[in-house]
Structure 1
Amino acid sequence: MDHTLTLRRARISDLDAVDALLGRSYPRLLRPDYPPSVMVMALPLIVRARPDLLASGRYFLAECEDGTVIGGGGWSAASPVGGDEQPSVGHVRHVAVDPAHVRHGVGRAVMGEIIVDTLRHGIRWLDCLSTRTAVPFYESLGFRVLHEMDVNLRPGIVFPAVRMMRQIAPDAPPSPHTA
């Protein structure tokens, strides 16, 4: 597939486009790795864009030449599951690629923007709560699996994830997390 890819920072006005991307991506790509019960309960909660993340300036979009959003992802200083912020750790957030564009470098390009941006902010480690589906993708980018975990989305609704970490700066102190 030949297409020109444009990367840019998301704006709050991109909320509907990100919702649409997540709604196309997650249900189709996650289905092989999650039971129907998880898909029914968790998907309605995770396919929604986070306005605070879009407004932060730390979420990036990949667009085709016609302006269609085909990928996105970002990072935050705060962990999506709470806990103390650590100044050298950034958290990968809501990375998704349109199923029609998987394995065409879109996700890798978005993650490249995330890494460049986190380094500008003094981040030395990236922490990621990956879906089971995306573990091979993150491993190809140098992330290592720490452990599986359940992310509590709401009382009684959990999403099984895989916690992964990657050093992005050669001068980084030892990992703040252990396997």
Structure 2
Amino acid sequence: MASIFVAYSFLLLVILKISTPYTLARTTALYLVSCLLPNLALAQAFTVSAVTPTHNTLAVPRAASVGVTFSQAVGNSASSLAGLQVFSAQRGGKLAGTSTVAGSTLTFDPLRAFKPGEQISVTLTSALKSTAGAALAKPYVYQFTAAATGGTGSYTRAPISRWVGLSLV
């Protein structure tokens, strides 16, 4: 995209140098700018639009998948899929799983369910590419926490007689 802008800028400079009358050069330059630059703005960067689970969510179901929606369709190459990495604080590293693409959505299904209360970090790198070949505009990182469901525990109240005669100093 930058190379197109440079080419148009060069063309404008050539027109300005060649044209004898100043007004002809100015009129031509203004016409080209008004016609060509709006089209450059229409090109959309490859960015993250939405994530599931959302940022800093607590109590995410332990069997949940990680989903990321992008502004453009995602390329399905192995190198592009490697741009989505999911890490566990409790397990000490990258989680194993399967990444799949459906249009503009990339989904990661972990091989094993998240541990109760596990903190998960998701990293999206510039290795991710759109079907048009555009790399992710900027890296993206977020985290969430798996649900800490279940568990047992009991609370037993100590008899008051146990505390009689103790001085709190």
Settle same-fold status: TM greater than 0.5: no
TM-score by structure 2 length? 0.23
Q: Higher strand proportion, which one?
A: 1
TM-score by structure 1 length? 0.22
Q: Higher helix proportion, which one?
A: 1
